[in-house]
Amino acid sequence: MPADDSSDIHCRLDELLEARGMTLTELSKQVGVSLVNLSVLKNDRAKAIRFSTLTAICDVLRCEVGDLLVTTRSKT
């Protein structure tokens, strides 16, 4: 399958931050990941994410991976 810029994965970071009353800057400090990299993830422009980063984000936000990353394709 050829690679393209589209993805069927959506990052719900905005919704989770809002629900917890937290800013991206606060999350960046607590997780130890740059604001720029978290912004790329938040805006669905990330091509990849390290498991350690994913784990740290989920730990700080007290969520599961499936709460943060969801598929957008329809199930047929």
One pLDDT digit (tens) per residue for the chain, 76 residues? 444 556 799 999 999 999 999 999 999 999 999 999 999 999 999 999 999 999 999 999 999 999 999 998 866 5
CATH number (domain holding residue 20):
1.10.260.40
Does 75 reside within a domain?
no
Closest CA to 16 of 63, 50, 72: 63
Task: Check if the beta carbon of residue 30 is closer than 8 Å to that of residue 36.
Answer: no
Does 2 reside within a domain?
no
Q: Is 16 exposed, middle or buried (0-12, 13-18, 19+ CB in 10 A)?
A: buried
pLDDT of res. 7 = 76
Domain count, the chain: 1
Does 3 reside within a domain?
no
* pTM, full prediction: 0.85
pLDDT of res. 41 = 97
Does 76 reside within a domain?
no
What range does the domain containing 20 cover? Answer: 11-70
